[in-house]
Chain A
Amino acid sequence: MMSYLHALPSLAHGLGTTFLVSISAMILAVGIGFVLGIVRSQVPRAIDLPILAVIEFFRGIPLLVLMYFIFFGLPQLGFKTGQNAAAIAALCLYAGALGSEIVRGAIVSISGGQTEAASALGLSRVQILALVVIPQALRRMLPPFVGLFALIVESSSLSSLINVTDLLQTAHQNVERDNDIALPVYLTVLVAYFAVNYPISLVSQRLEKRLA
């Protein structure tokens, strides 16, 4: 039992790393999502198709395979990455692909009549997007982006498999040292993830109801 109590500070530290990785990936994913989402909503289909293919690739490849490719594979091709950077890169590519769908979907759902009305007022295409469409689309993006953050936190547990000392990896290390505390340690980890993600998904659902 003492050994479990000794594990707690390191688990807290691991949770900090989980947050660091998740938040960094989220910020980058929002950036990628906005750029690709806005571009995709504005370009003709011929230009959109190759972008879509890339997005579908990052949505289709399992996150763990992507993470291993970046961490173990890329160094062979001359790109060395640290484990934290590799985890963040994989997470933000995956979440960015999902984020671009969120942004594009929200913009397209607003566009129709609003664009017509704004054009009739003589606004330019950039003005329409920046002043009319995107401000309204932001409201629709908010709930799915909050949900996306919960998915990133959940998925960040995979980074433990490339030796990022996140919550799960810290738990693993503690259990390696003393096998008898496996039950309380892994239970703590389950509860910790739940304590982080449950409120986030509640907020996402509330926002969705309120903004619907």
Chain B
Amino acid sequence: MRDAAPQLAHGFVLTLQIAFFGVIGALAVGVIGAAMRVSTSRAARVAATAFTEFFRNTPPLVQIYFLAFAIPKIPGIGPHLILPSIVAATLGLVLHQGAINIEILRAGLGAVPAGQREAAQALGLSRIDELRSVLVPQAVRISLPALGNNVISLFKNTTLVASIGVLDIFGEANDIIATILVSAELFLTVGVVYVICVALLGALFRALERKFALAR
């Protein structure tokens, strides 16, 4: 077990990297998608809604498999789209978790009271200023608990990357087991590391919620 520590630590760093890029990517997808869903262009709204519904209603593991194994088989362009495993895995997480972020932020915008929009318009603010200064800051605050849960869910889902051969902490654990077989202890250790990380993330988001609380 002690011998396994350096290998697990190496995997853990990769886990953190995947989680970091996954969270940033999913947030970007969420912001862009939510903006499209409240835009005046019908085409943008339809496209963003279809994206949201498809990717949040299909399992992230299947999305990862699709990116890693099916995309390269597309006739013609496929062979140019062979992604390194780690990119395919991270992209799969970004699509799924990003779709959920779109829905969260859209719901947050919808939860801002109608009077806020009316007041912003009565002051003569442009549509952009209305969104940027009045609606979005409130929507983000309203959405913070759900966004936090989604970050935690993404963090836990980083384990899926091991399934296509990326050696994150969980992949390293599997690798060790394949060679020396100490699985009960090892999986428990990995599990506890995740539980601690999730608890820390939870505490971080609760602190953020308190800091940005919107008293009405």
Cβ–Cβ < 8 Å partners of B122 in chain A = none
Interface status of A77 (Cβ within 8 A of chain B): yes
Looking at A40-48, A59-67, A113-121, A124-132, the stretch in contact with chain B turns out to be: A59-67
Give the chain A neighbours of B57 by CB distance below 8 A. Answer: 150, 154, 193-194, 197-198, 201
Contacts of B163 in A (CB 8 A): 64, 161
Interface on B for A, CB 8 Å cutoff? 53-54, 56-63, 65-66, 69-74, 78, 156-160, 162-163, 170, 174, 177, 183-188, 190-191, 194-195, 198-199
A175 within 8 A of B: yes
> A186, B66: Cβ atoms under 8 Å?
yes
Cα of A187 to Cα of B13 in the assembled complex, Å: 33
> Given known contacts A73-B183, A194-B58, is B191 in contact with A66 (CB within 8 Å)?
yes
The listed residue (A56, A69, A187) touching B70 by CB distance below 8 A is A187
A69 to B58 Cα, complex, angstroms: 25
Given the complex of chains A and B, what is the CA–CA distance between A2 and B190 in angstroms? 44
A157 interface residue, CB < 8 Å from B? yes
Q: Does A34 contact B (CB under 8 A)?
A: no
Main SS of the interface on chain A? Answer: helix
Say which residue of A62, A194, A197 sits within 8 Å of B159 (CB atoms).
A62
- Taking CB atoms, residues of chain A closer than 8 Å to B56 are 201
Give the CA-CA distance A189 to B63 in the complex, in Å.
10
| Interface contact A187-B62, CB-CB below 8 Å | no
Given the interface pairs A65-B194, A72-B187, the reply to whether A60 lies near B58 with Cβ below 8 Å is no
A156-210 interface with B by 8 A CB criterion: 157-158, 160-161, 168, 171-172, 175, 179-180, 182-183, 185-187, 189-190, 193-194, 197-198, 201
Q: Which residues of A contact B191 (CB under 8 A)?
A: 61-62, 65-66, 69
**A74 CB–B CB distance under 8 Å:** yes
Among B177, B191, B194, B198, max chain A CB count under 10 A is at: B191
Beta-carbon nearest neighbor of A181 in chain B: B73
